A and B are shown apart, each in its own frame.
Chain A
Amino acid sequence: MSAEREGTERHAHPTVGVYLRVGAALVILTVLEVGVFYVPAFHVVLVPVLLVLSSAKFTLVVMFYMHLKDDNKVFTFLLGGPLVIAVGVMVALLFLFLGALTLRGAAGAG
């Protein structure tokens, strides 16, 4: 059965050093997030900034702690496909409910 198997299961996992550095980055990003939240000057851009920061954290954990960066592409697909659908659904629902897609208020009441 192993004739065609050129699997690449044993990727070198990142070293402990990398893990620690990622951990530090996560902490800094969290501090930044909370910081942004408390500084009134940032409130105009609060939402985009927070979204960027938390996506960065998300990506770091997934790439390094869950090893997606060096692992088989199938795993990226198994996470990425549904994630794209989930985000798409979320955006669509927000549009539908906030009435952005409606010309009149009919659905906006929801």
Chain B
Amino acid sequence: MSEARGLTSWLTTTDHKRIGLLYFWTALAFFLIGGIEALFIRVQLAQPNGQVVSAETYNQLFTMHGTTMIFLALMPLGASFFNYMVPLQIGARDVAFPRLNAFSYWVFLFGGLLLNASWFVGPLFHAGMLNVAPDGGWFGYANLTERQYSPGPNIDFWVLGLQILGISSLAAGFNFIVTILNMRAPGMKMMRLPAFTWMTLVTQFLIITAFPVITVGLAFLMFDRFFGTHFYVREAGATPILWQHLFWLFGHPEVYILILPAMGVVSDVLPTFSRKPLFGYPVVVYSGILIGLMSWGVWSHHMFAVGLGPIADSVFAATTMLIAVPTGVKIFNWIATLWGGDIRGTTALHFAVGFIAMFIIGGLSGVTHASPPADLQQTDTYYVVAHIHYVFFGGTIFGLFAGVYYWWPKMTGRLLDETLGKVHFWLQFIGMNLAFFPMHLIGLLGMPRRVYTYAPELGVGTLNLVSTIGAFLIALSILIFLVNLWRSRTHGQPAPNDPWGGATLEWSVSSPPPVYNFSVIPTVTNRLPRWSTERHGPMRDPPAVPPEPIHVPGGSWWPMVAALGLPVLALAPLTQTLWVAFVGAALLIAGVYAWAFQPFEV
């Protein structure tokens, strides 16, 4: 029952909390990599005719920046909270399939490593370093990504890496759907779930429906590149537009996959720090579900310049604009939650409020994109880059940082420094506005995105310089955050069970929680179990010592072995060696069989 230590215990762990921490640190590392790539981009663009990197390197930088931030930083950072918090919030001892959970993590790690290995392995492909990283943009439009126009291994890394990452997300998706539906503590009805858990559930539904579509799109591209099919080849009667449809059918739900968890965090943080229940909880939940559903009907708004015809454009414009309604409902309910509250300005609250303030800007620029004729002037310019970063950075990153400052004490048992936290917040807030607001103007003044250079005559040199300065302010703020994490490990005050006075179950256990989470599985009688409202008093926390011994399942090597099979399989086409494929398949099959027949109980 005592916790195992040492490297092996981490490699074989099936404990959702440890897997959550693994996700956290890995995602943070990838975030720094993606951020450093962004800094290179910004340095190159700081002035016209920049000479810091070559055109080819620049193209790899923005492709890897987008891909890394989306698939390797933000999604897994969300996953780290799903892992750590969802079982605690629903009163469970672990997720439904602990070993599948470990498998998801290892697949994610290996997929991320494979993608990033492309920076260094140029020499293996008779090219220099920094030459074979993916360079087709994060949405890899065919037919540019076909072998004919991208002959190197660059796009191969991208296709295979994304396929592997998709498997990780899908596995986690099934796992968390079952966990949330089926592992709730007694009395934890669906409409008593914390808002974060609800948004996690919606996110997982989007994942299991959206990822198969990109899987198919990527498989076609893979077959085209390796096996001589012509799915996107005009000369064979096909059209590259098919790729765009398949990609954005996935891509649009994907951006909501990235924002919904952050919205969930905010919906949990605001009530805690304004000492007031979430205003209109059912409405917030339903609007989240609605956003998820509607995200399936808007994908062609990324294709307004493609020429789908006026009727299709009108239909997609209308569906896209409609999404503003449920999103607005959430914003107003958050403000109403704060209204009349007793707002304590912790760092977590700063970030949550920062989310609201900045996401509105990103959402409104989204609405200006949603008008197809207007978008004809905006699409593929820095105006869209501004939108991307207001929703991703102002939205997802602020939301997730709110989560970090909120849950860090729970996850590590140590408090973060609030002063450093506020310095981090304000620097980041100023930095992001300096970095990304000018991009609106840069775009409207005619600078396209994905250009490694621009002419001085364009007149946007100074605006770009401002943007670069903003990016470095963000970097500084992130450094301060890293210092804060470090200090918390060495000097951080020990965290009590419940440093903030939270209403939900994760605060009822110690920080960090014991391996078995709950000494006694709680019985839930209302939506705010740890608060007293006019209708009920607070529940009693579970005892610190379990009244009867609790069986905790041991770890397993097999999820990692099976996961290892996937990157090995991917090496086969990359290196054009058949036997590698057999090794990979053997690892995968052996891993799965050993895993299936290994006795294991939850």
Contacts and interface: CB of A to CB of B under 8 A. Distances in A.
Interface of A: 1-5, 74, 78, 81-82, 85, 88-89, 93, 95-96, 99, 101-104, 106-107, 109-110
Contacts of A106: 307-309
Nearest to B524: A4
21 contacts: A1-B521, A3-B186, A3-B187, A3-B523, A4-B186, A4-B187, A74-B181, A82-B208, A82-B209, A89-B249, A89-B296, A96-B312, A101-B308, A101-B309, A101-B312, A102-B309, A102-B312, A103-B311, A106-B309, A107-B309, A109-B239
Given A101-B311, A109-B239, A110-B241, A85 B209 contact: yes
Interface residues of B, number: 27
Interface of A is mostly: helix
A78 B174 CA distance: 11
B310 interface: yes
Contacts of B249: 89
Contact of B242 (A2, A99, A101, A110): A110
Interface of B: 177, 181, 185-187, 205, 208-209, 213, 239, 241-242, 245, 249, 296-297, 300, 306-312, 315, 521, 523
A99 B242 CA distance: 14
A102 B308 contact: yes
A30 B66 CA distance: 49
Contacts, number: 57
A106 B115 CA distance: 37
A1 B90 CA distance: 12
Interface of B is mostly: helix
Nearest to B314: A101
For B186, B245, B312, B521, the residue with the greatest tally of chain A CB atoms inside 10 Å of its CB is B312
Contacts of A2: 186
Contacts of B187: 3-4
Contact of A102 (B177, B181, B242, B311): B311
A1 B309 contact: no
Given A4-B187, A74-B181, A110-B241, A96 B308 contact: yes
A99 B521 contact: no
A101 B308 CA distance: 8
A88 B249 CA distance: 12
B601 to A, nearest CB: 15
A104 B309 contact: yes
Nearest to B521: A1
A101 B313 CA distance: 9
A99 B523 CA distance: 57
Contacts of A104: 309
